Amino acid sequence: MSKQDGAQEQVLAQLAAVVGCCAPLAREPLTAEQSVELSRVFKAMGDPVRLRLLSLIASHAGGEACVCDLTDVFDLSGPTISHHLKVLREAGLITGERRGTWVYYRVRPDLLAQVSAVLVPAAPDSPAAMPADRDALPVVDA
């Protein structure tokens, strides 16, 4: 998974640049490029299994879940779960870290928040003010 995190970082950089800075959907039309980047995230969430995986990880005690915890929930083979986790990973929605025998996944709440912000129709108040953490994206594992 180590060489993949490289590619993963690239995706995340693009996402941070596009998702993180673009106005809400209803504010101004997305450019072709922006829509391509954003749609990657939505496509990753556009599968029931992946959405449930995301939710299982996000709501799991400690904010992280071992793959072995996730596999049992579904009537799917190991490779299939692994595939879906990879898709979520490449979309930047989760990060994985190996600790000993097990691999633990956790969500990236910042990305979820950004995507959520894009969806919300012209924020009722205070869309601006709060340059907060435009590039405070936590570095992926070690």
Q: Cβ closer to DNA: 21 or 55?
A: 55
Structure tokens at 101: 């025998």
| Residue carrying structure tokens 């894009």 | 118
Assess 13 for contact with its own copies (CB under 8 A).
no
Assess 36 for contact with its own copies (CB under 8 A).
yes
Residue 102 φ/ψ, nearest 5 degrees: -105, 155
Using DSSP's 3-state secondary structure scheme, residue 112 falls into helix
CB 95 within 8 A of CB 2: no
Q: Cβ closer to its own copies: 1 or 31?
A: 31
Site for its own copies in 66-105 (CB under 8 A): 73
CB 67 within 8 A of CB 85: yes
CB 93 within 8 A of CB 45: yes
Q: Which residues bind its own copies (CB under 8 A)?
A: 20-23, 25-32, 35-36, 38-39, 42-52, 54-56, 58-60, 73, 107, 109-110, 112-117, 119-121, 123, 126-140
Q: Which residues bind DNA (CB under 7 A)?
A: 1, 4, 43, 46-47, 49-50, 66-68, 71, 75-87, 96, 98, 100-103
